[in-house]
Amino acid sequence: MGSRGKRLVLATALLGAALPVTAFAQANTATSARPANGGTALRWTEPGYLHADGVDVLVFSNTNDGLFADAKISGVEIIHQGVRTATNGDVRLAATPGQWDPAAQLVSRTVDARTGVVETTLEYPDYKWRYTIRTEPRGKAVAITVSTAQPLPAALANKAGFNLEFLPAAYFHKSFAIDGRPGAMPIYPADAMVRTPERNMASGRSEGPGAEPTPIASGSRLVLAPEDAGRRMTIQSTSVPVQLFDGRNQSQNGWFVARSLLPAGRTGKLLEWTVEANSVAGWLRTPVIAHSQLGYAPGASKVATVELDKADRRPGQVKLLRVGEDGRLTPVAVPATKAWGSYLRYNYRQLDFSAVRQPGTYLLDYNGTRTATFRIADDVYADAWHPTNDVYFPVAMDHMAVNEAYRVWHGPAHLDDARQAPVNHEHIDLYRQGPTTDTKFKPGEHIPGLNVGGWFDAGDFDIRTQSQYQVVVQLAAARERWGLDRDTVSVDDARRQVEMHLPDGVPDLVQQVRHGTLQLVAQFDAVGHAIHGIVEPDVGEYTHLGDAGSKTDRLVYDPRLKPEEQKDGRSGIPDDRWAFTSKATALNYGSIAALAAASRVMTGYDDALAAKARSIAERVWTEEHSHAPDTFSHGNTTGGPIEVEEFTAAVELLKTTRDQRYADRISALWPTLAPRFGMIAWTAADAIPFMPASYRAAMVPAVQAWQADANKLEAANPFGVPVTTTGWAGSGAVLNYGLTSYILHKHFPEIVDGRGVQRGVDFLLGHHPASDVSFVSGVGTVAKEVAYGNNRADFSFIAGGVVPGVLVLKPDYPENHEDWPFFWGENEYVIPEGSMWIALANAAREMTGGKAGAPLPSPASKRAR
């Protein structure tokens, strides 16, 4: 969103606090200064929710997507003065449920648009119990009732209650009152806890003794933030007490929870709440001026998009101001701001200032809302990829200790990898072991050799093979295409030590490709095929935050030892991660594609590993074509479609070997894959120099169709890129779109204009809905500083990490929180987006006339240590 001054520093972030709203982050300008003045009554609106000035009430517009039981996007939800402050209004079985605790399944939902009444029937199938939640507007409030035709099952007595969860960041530094008794919302959780028996999670595993928080307060009338008209929320219960809990006592991602237990032994209406989110009369969301936080090359397209509340009818023009060294702001002549139209819940206006080419520092102003400064400069993209190279990937390196000057990011991690996963077991994080191990190892047995290489997949610590090979291929492509030889990181494998900001004479991308290759090779050495990945065995380890080196004892588990015993480098603590090893042909193809690509990049630096990687790739290709494919599939851990993975493997093997059999296979696969061109566009185009002219000719219709779809995107939303509407936000889709635009423009300039590169880069760097924050931490004047990395409990970030970005909640609400890191669908770093960003930033540098990279240096005398 627009700025009204310098960004506030999160001085109290280590306490989980959020200071008063920053100018650039979440689009919720402070409203406490605005008088309440009555507000307006709730009414049903065409998008599909109840609306009043500054208040929207959604009722099961969104449901959890099945990845976890609780994604904080379901039930009764409240958008309050532009910010979704309340969610998960539903019957739950714990006071402060976590993401693996059970949630009810949706049975039906009916809406009476005339009255605004919504009735939703849900069920807990394990208990064979159904109930109905009815919401009805009553003036400025909404009445919520829970009814049932069946009494609560005995097993749910004193467990089932109606919960409504409140975003902690929205209520930090606020007060509350309950039945007139005052209180303060806690900055940090410190409530009394009650020890509980073993708790069975949604996975079915017993996680040992636990504890439940006691309520902060209890009464019939709860008022949150009475002093703040923009956050005041009142809950009145007619029959059962309302209790206020702090979910952060059990997990850092917990929310404040208002809860009333449901009475046992009754049918009909069990509970009625009246909930009023204070409506501020005439409230208008502060305009957001979406633009690139990094800036623009002089000859590049430059578009700023103003996002406006639909009720905001005030006239306005975007001003471009040049910032002088003396602080003077000089207006620059620009065209008139034009109306774009409506998209989702907002209206948009745009300024095209592409004609401004003079290098310098600028900012944008719309009716007093100002952005941070940005540059127009020839070298604007020169270092945009450096934080990802210098910081993000080194921090993500598994099985190593990573140090940055005075800071230790983590100690040597998971040196006790890995134990064979149990058969017929479904893990909590989308991994599954089939009916056999497909290895020589028995369930629970140590698999030697896997404690090397690889990266933490995301904001957690697992090695997801599918991510590993994607990153190796992408980094290899960036190294080869642009000759990237930046050297800022030292890697010492013998000592398992990484030192950041300390050159060692080897290009960083070579070292990262090598690090990923070590893990892929280790899998083939250990079990003979690519595995799904290596992941923590239980919830307790999976939710570990902080130093990865302290998550296990780094000693191989020996069942003959007692838990307190250590002997010969082994221990009696079964904390070793599990390896999921069911054969999947798709994973083999994906891995050998990476090994083939890596062998080219590593030649001259680690010739032995390069030769071994190539040998495995060629051997496994031959093996896979000697038998029917292994089609085991589960979640998103067993590779993409087999044909897509095979096509990628064939292209990389062809580039490495020039063997005609791979060219023949590419030609044979093309007709099948042409309808899925978007999935393989980069790979398909990358093969053109190694294929006959007929191959390129056959691609032309698919390329034309792609450009036609790209043209439609320009009219579909103000940002001209694909904006996804699934449970995981769409930065990955935008990165793929930008890279596809680049590669197709390179090979089909007569068809593809390449403008998608600029639009993709600008979107990632701030030209997107909901805010103007750059989604690449550390890149751009205002970038993500609160993200879902493995340091998320510190309300911090990892420079160079790319977050998923804008999550579009049905029916029309785009969201990305800069004050709450725990939304994984919006804020979780994943390594493929990091490697894609390195490529896209360099593509933009090349497309705008920046230095595209020197020829690859001769590496004959250099060796990766």
- Residue 780 pLDDT exceeds 90: yes
Average pLDDT, the chain: 92
Residue 537 has φ and ψ, to the nearest 5°, of -75, -20
pLDDT, tens only, 147-178: 999 999 999 999 999 999 999 999 999 999 99
Structure tokens at 565: 């015993």
- Residue 205 pLDDT exceeds 70: no
Residue 462 CA to residue 464 CA, distance in Å, equals: 6
Predicted pLDDT at 11: 27
pLDDT, tens only, 622-669: 999 999 999 999 999 999 999 999 999 999 999 999 999 999 999 999
Closest CA to 301 of 782, 762, 851, 770: 762
Quick one: DSSP state of residue 802?
B
pLDDT, tens only, 788-806: 999 999 999 999 999 999 9
Residue 422 CA to residue 315 CA, distance in Å, equals: 65
Contact between residue 245 and residue 6 where contact means Cβ atoms under 8 Å apart: no
Residue 649 CA to residue 663 CA, distance in Å, equals: 11
Predicted pLDDT at 2: 37
Contact between residue 511 and residue 492 where contact means Cβ atoms under 8 Å apart: no
- Residue 31 pLDDT exceeds 60: no
CATH match for 386-847 among 3.40.630.30, 1.50.10.10, 1.10.1740.10, 3.40.50.150 = 1.50.10.10
Q: Which residue has the tokens 């302290």?
A: 550
Q: How confident is the model at residue 196 (pLDDT cuts 50, 70, 90)?
A: confident
Predicted pLDDT at 615: 98
Closest CA to 800 of 772, 767, 769, 841: 841
Q: Which residue has the tokens 């930008």?
A: 738
Residue 58 has φ and ψ, to the nearest 5°, of -100, 140
Q: How confident is the model at residue 30 (pLDDT cuts 50, 70, 90)?
A: very low
Domain 24-201+211-277 has CATH 3.30.70: no
- Residue 208 pLDDT exceeds 60: no
Concatenated DSSP letters of 350-401: EEE-TT----EEEEEEETTEEPPPEEE-TTTTTTTTHHIIIIIHHHTBTTSE
Q: How confident is the model at residue 13 (pLDDT cuts 50, 70, 90)?
A: very low
Average pLDDT for 799-817: 97
Q: Is the dihedral of CA 698, 700, 705, 707 positive or negative?
A: positive
Q: How confident is the model at residue 402 (pLDDT cuts 50, 70, 90)?
A: very high
Contact between residue 257 and residue 233 where contact means Cβ atoms under 8 Å apart: no
Residues with Cβ within 8 Å of 821's Cβ and at least 6 positions away in sequence, in order, are 786, 787, 788, 789, 792, 795, 827
Q: How confident is the model at residue 849 (pLDDT cuts 50, 70, 90)?
A: confident
Quick one: DSSP state of residue 774?
B
pLDDT, tens only, 448-496: 999 999 999 999 999 999 999 999 999 999 999 999 999 999 999 999 9
For 288-376, CATH gives: 2.60.40.10
Predicted pLDDT at 714: 85
Q: How confident is the model at residue 195 (pLDDT cuts 50, 70, 90)?
A: confident
3 state DSSP class of 631: strand
Concatenated DSSP letters of 17-69: --PSPPSSSSS----TTS--------EEETTTEEEETTEEEEESSS---SSSS
What does the domain layout of the chain look like in residue ranges?
24-201+211-277, 288-376, 386-847
Structure tokens at 354: 């592409």
- Residue 854 pLDDT exceeds 60: no
Predicted pLDDT at 16: 29
- Residue 552 pLDDT exceeds 60: yes
Predicted pLDDT at 23: 31
- Residue 37 pLDDT exceeds 60: no
pLDDT, tens only, 489-543: 999 999 999 999 999 999 999 999 999 999 999 999 999 999 999 999 998 899 9
